Chain A
Amino acid sequence: MSLSKGHFCFKSDKTIYHIKTNKMKEFMLIIRTQGDHLAELSPEQQQQHVNQVMNYMSGLMNSGKLNSAQPLDMEGVIVSGTAGKFKDGPFNETKEVIAGYFLIKANSLEEAIQVAKDNPVFEVGAGARIEVRPIKVMEGING
């Protein structure tokens, strides 16, 4: 058994168990792309990208870092205004759009940034950006 700052691991039945001893923080990674970044890919390239994303996600899941992740469709509506006087209309999908999200756990903002940098969207989406946002802990909501 080894003990280091933040986590320890032990070996049992030939399996190595990693136990996190500190509380990880939650982060929302917002994937921003220039329009539909998959539209230009061939079916084979799309399949390859899906496989890469699946590998990326199972890596995060195995290390206990993934809470949930999903891609978002291009169609959608933006609601604005004030209660009683709403406008809702389509948003501009030819410019930067939110293409998906990853809700993750990490020990620090730096680790969350590293997880974002590993995202395979950077292999396919020219101009892709990922916004790394700490989840806010508010009493009465999630605190």
Chain B
Amino acid sequence: MLSPDKLREHIEHGTAYIGKYIKQGNIKSAQPLDRGSRIVSKTDGLLKDAPFNETKEVIAGYFLIEAETLEQAVAIAKENPIFDDIKSKIEVHPIKPIPT
């Protein structure tokens, strides 16, 4: 957990990072995700939902970006200020073209 001051500083860094890449046309949308999530799964034809284990690794947010290449997307991910304050990982997935 970050202290209130550290959290404010972290949000400022995050906002500056998002602002920079929105201006450059790379970030399309970005939001943090909250706790209190559920996981929906299907077993033996039955759909059920249960609390999601949030004590292990969780997805804390997402960035939907546009980049020329996967390498550029990775470089943008590496600039994310999350790495300055919190031990974390970022998964970089290309969007799949929808078959028509």
A-side interface residues toward B, CB under 8 Å?
26, 28, 30, 46-47, 50, 68, 70-73, 75-83, 86, 88, 91, 98, 100-101, 103, 109, 113, 116-117, 122, 127-136, 138-142
Docked Cα-Cα span, A78 to B84, in Å, equals 17
B contact residues around A113 at 8 Å (CB): 38, 40, 49
25 residue pairs A–B, Cβ–Cβ below 8 Å: A30-B59, A50-B98, A68-B64, A79-B91, A82-B83, A83-B78, A83-B83, A83-B84, A86-B78, A101-B62, A109-B36, A113-B40, A116-B40, A117-B47, A122-B42, A131-B38, A132-B37, A132-B38, A134-B33, A134-B34, A135-B33, A136-B32, A141-B18, A142-B31, A142-B32
Docked Cα-Cα span, A128 to B48, in Å, equals 12
Q: Is B56 an interface residue (CB 8 A)?
A: no
Does B11 contact A141, Cβ atoms closer than 8 Å? yes
A contact residues around B32 at 8 Å (CB): 135-136, 138, 141-142
Q: Is B77 an interface residue (CB 8 A)?
A: yes
B-side interface residues toward A, CB under 8 Å?
11-12, 14-15, 18, 29-34, 36-42, 47, 49, 52, 59, 61-62, 64, 70, 73-74, 77-78, 83-84, 87-96, 98-100
